[in-house]
């Protein structure tokens, strides 16, 4: 309970869910095992209904047959329950046992009139009970209509067989058959419903496992994407600083070269901290900070940077600002790594329309074709596209060979887009991502 008196909702842990699932499965299994023991009551009733002067042999034989039949039902019920989650046909090694069990069921039904002293003295009910419980042993694996129809069909067949010899007792026996068949139809249906509940529980348990796997995959994707962002910019900065230090050393300015290498070391230390924050899942992108870092990085690389931020302070949602900050970081990394740019311009402005949006435009000159394709081209643009799509935004780029410029345009709503909302459309005339990736 919270300090203000409200009851705090607590979600069960995965361990609690697994234990609850195991307890439910155990409860269903043993409930069905106990219900199958109802057949033993028939053996007791048979023994009690036998005439005192009748020979005890047939009644004892039927009682033993019922006990053995119950044991067989329990064994096949155990097999049915253990194969509900992953249904498989009866193994070849068990098929002889299945055939023997069917024959034993028929023998039990045929032995009962001898033990009961006649066909009309209770044998019809015994036949329905034995066949119904035999079907119940497989009910978790069978269709519901087959399970519920078995007692009714058995009662109808038994009544039809006995009709010529029953005479005046036919209405009484038929009434008993209707009552017994309906009772055991509902009884056997409960076995099928228990199997259905187990299938639902197993499906939920599998879905929970798949959800955990998806969460792990999503976390791996987040880490790989953030590491790409961090190390893309860091390695680009290290390359520029190292090249500058080497050039200063060749020109006889060791002090400046040492300063540049000290900055390289500081950048490497910061990169190590960034990696730890990425793994811990606490890293975020701040748009104003990324803009300052982008201008500093471009200046360090000898690229003139013109920054035009026309966004009113506090208007952009934090989630959208984080995504735009990541886009700025990746765009600047691409400028340094994939161009011979002498100047770059970064513009942020509001777009008027039914849905207010923010537009980020990064333009650089000095186009350069990549020297080789290492299989990783386009990862940066793809990552930016995914980030923008998550907040309802869009990404486009345009290459102008005549002006020797590359233009990257990102559009995102001021607030996080609702689920299912259409992404903000890039400006008209902008090419799609498939038209070229660098």
pLDDT: which is higher, 118 or 331? 331
In this structure, are 294 and 422 located in the same domain?
Answer: yes
Residue 360 near residue 327 (C-beta atoms within 8 A): yes
**Highest-pLDDT range among 46-60, 264-278, 394-408:** 394-408
The pLDDT of residue 424 is above 70: no
Query: Domain for residue 227, yes or no?
Result: no
pLDDT: which is higher, 274 or 295? 295
pLDDT (0 to 100) of residue 119: 57
> pTM for the full model?
0.55
pLDDT (0 to 100) of residue 430: 38
- Give the DSSP H or E segment for 219: helix 170-250
Q: Residues 6 or more apart from 310 whose CB is under 8 A from it?
A: 347, 348, 349, 350
How confident is the model over 112-140, as a mean pLDDT? 79
| Structure tokens given for 268 | 């490497």
pLDDT (0 to 100) of residue 437: 31
pLDDT: which is higher, 171 or 273? 171
Query: Domain for residue 366, yes or no?
Result: yes
In this structure, are 200 and 324 located in the same domain?
Answer: no
Backbone angles phi, psi at 410, to 5 degrees: -120, 135
Residue showing tokens 């009690």: 48
CA angle 303, 305, 307 (to 5 degrees): 165
**Highest-pLDDT range among 83-97, 102-116, 289-303:** 83-97
Number of domains composing the chain: 2
pLDDT: which is higher, 175 or 214? 175
Query: Domain for residue 70, yes or no?
Result: yes
pLDDT (0 to 100) of residue 6: 47
Query: Domain for residue 238, yes or no?
Result: no
pLDDT (0 to 100) of residue 278: 67
Query: Domain for residue 236, yes or no?
Result: no
In this structure, are 207 and 290 located in the same domain?
Answer: no
In this structure, are 197 and 290 located in the same domain?
Answer: no
Residue where a domain terminates, one of 187, 211, 235: 211
In this structure, are 186 and 319 located in the same domain?
Answer: no
DSSP class of 186: H
pLDDT (0 to 100) of residue 82: 92
In this structure, are 197 and 307 located in the same domain?
Answer: no
pLDDT (0 to 100) of residue 13: 60
In this structure, are 289 and 170 located in the same domain?
Answer: no
pLDDT (0 to 100) of residue 419: 37
pLDDT (0 to 100) of residue 43: 62
In this structure, are 206 and 291 located in the same domain?
Answer: no
Choose the weakest-confidence range: 44-53, 136-145, 218-227, 335-344.
Answer: 44-53
Residue where a domain terminates, one of 211, 244, 272: 211
Q: Residues 6 or more apart from 85 whose CB is under 8 A from it?
A: 198, 199, 202
pLDDT (0 to 100) of residue 75: 93
Per-residue pLDDT of 242-268, as tens digits, reads: 888 888 888 888 888 888 888 888 877
In this structure, are 65 and 173 located in the same domain?
Answer: yes
Query: Domain for residue 277, yes or no?
Result: no
pLDDT (0 to 100) of residue 438: 37
Query: Domain for residue 183, yes or no?
Result: yes
Domain that holds residue 332: 285-438
CA angle 47, 53, 55 (to 5 degrees): 65
Query: Domain for residue 248, yes or no?
Result: no
Residue where a domain terminates, one of 211, 230, 262: 211
pLDDT (0 to 100) of residue 219: 66
How confident is the model over 271-281, as a mean pLDDT? 69
The pLDDT of residue 325 is above 80: yes
In this structure, are 292 and 180 located in the same domain?
Answer: no
pLDDT (0 to 100) of residue 370: 57
In this structure, are 43 and 192 located in the same domain?
Answer: yes
Annotate 138-173 with DSSP letters as a single string: TGGGS-HHHHHHHHHHHHHHHHHHHHHHHGGGHHHH
Query: What is the rounded CA–CA span in Å between residue 222 and residue 282?
Result: 11
In this structure, are 207 and 331 located in the same domain?
Answer: no
pLDDT: which is higher, 157 or 212? 157
The CATH number linked to 402 is 3.30.565.10
């Amino acid at each position: 309970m919270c300090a203000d008196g409200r009851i705090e909702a607590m979600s069960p842990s995965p361990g609690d869910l697994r234990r609850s699932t195991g307890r439910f499965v155990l409860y269903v299994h043993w409930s069905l095992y106990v219900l199958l023991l109802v057949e033993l009551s028939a053996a007791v009733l048979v023994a009690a209904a036998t005439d005192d002067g009748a020979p005890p042999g047939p009644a004892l034989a039927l009682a033993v047959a019922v006990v053995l039949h119950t044991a067989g039902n329990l064994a096949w019920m155990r097999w049915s329950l253990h194969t509900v989650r992953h249904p498989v046909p009866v193994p070849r090694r068990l098929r002889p046992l299945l055939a023997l069990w069917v024959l034993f069921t028929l023998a039990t039904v045929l032995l009962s009139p001898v033990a009961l002293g006649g066909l009309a003295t209770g044998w019809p009910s015994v036949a329905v009970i034995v066949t119904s419980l035999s079907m119940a042993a497989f009910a978790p694996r069978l269709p519901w209509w087959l399970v519920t129809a078995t007692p009714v069909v058995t009662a109808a067949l038994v009544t039809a067989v006995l009709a010529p010899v029953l005479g005046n007792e036919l209405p009484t026996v038929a009434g008993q058959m209707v009552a017994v068949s309906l009772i055991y139809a509902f009884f056997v249906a409960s076995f099928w419903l228990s199997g259905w509940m187990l299938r639902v529980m197993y499906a939920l348990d599998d879905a929970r496992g798949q959800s955990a796997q998806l969460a792990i995959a999503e976390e791996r994707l987040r880490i790989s994407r953030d590491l790409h962002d961090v190390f893309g910019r860091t390695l680009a900065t290290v390359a520029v600083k190292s090249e500058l230090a080497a050039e200063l050393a060749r020109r006889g300015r060791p002090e400046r070269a040492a300063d540049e290498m000290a900055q390289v070391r500081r950048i490497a230390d910061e990169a190590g901290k960034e990696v730890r924050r990425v793994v811990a899942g606490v890293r975020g992108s701040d748009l104003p900070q990324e803009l300052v870092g982008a201008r500093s990085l471009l200046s360090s690389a000898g690229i003139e940077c013109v920054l035009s931020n026309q966004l009113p302070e506090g208007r952009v949602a934090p989630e959208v600002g984080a995504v735009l900050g990541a886009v700025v970081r990746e765009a600047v990394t691409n400028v340094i790594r994939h161009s011979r740019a002498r100047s770059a311009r970064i513009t942020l402005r509001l777009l008027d329309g039914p849905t207010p949006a923010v537009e980020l435009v990064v333009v650089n000159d000095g186009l350069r074709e990549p020297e080789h394709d290492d299989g990783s081209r386009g990862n940066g643009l793809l990552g930016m596209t995914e980030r923008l799509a998550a907040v309802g935004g869009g990404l486009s780029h345009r290459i102008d060979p005549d002006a020797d410029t590359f233009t990257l345009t990102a559009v995102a709503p001021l607030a996080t887009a609702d689920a299912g909302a259409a992404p903000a459309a890039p400006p008209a005339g902008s090419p799609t991502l498939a038209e070229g990736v660098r």
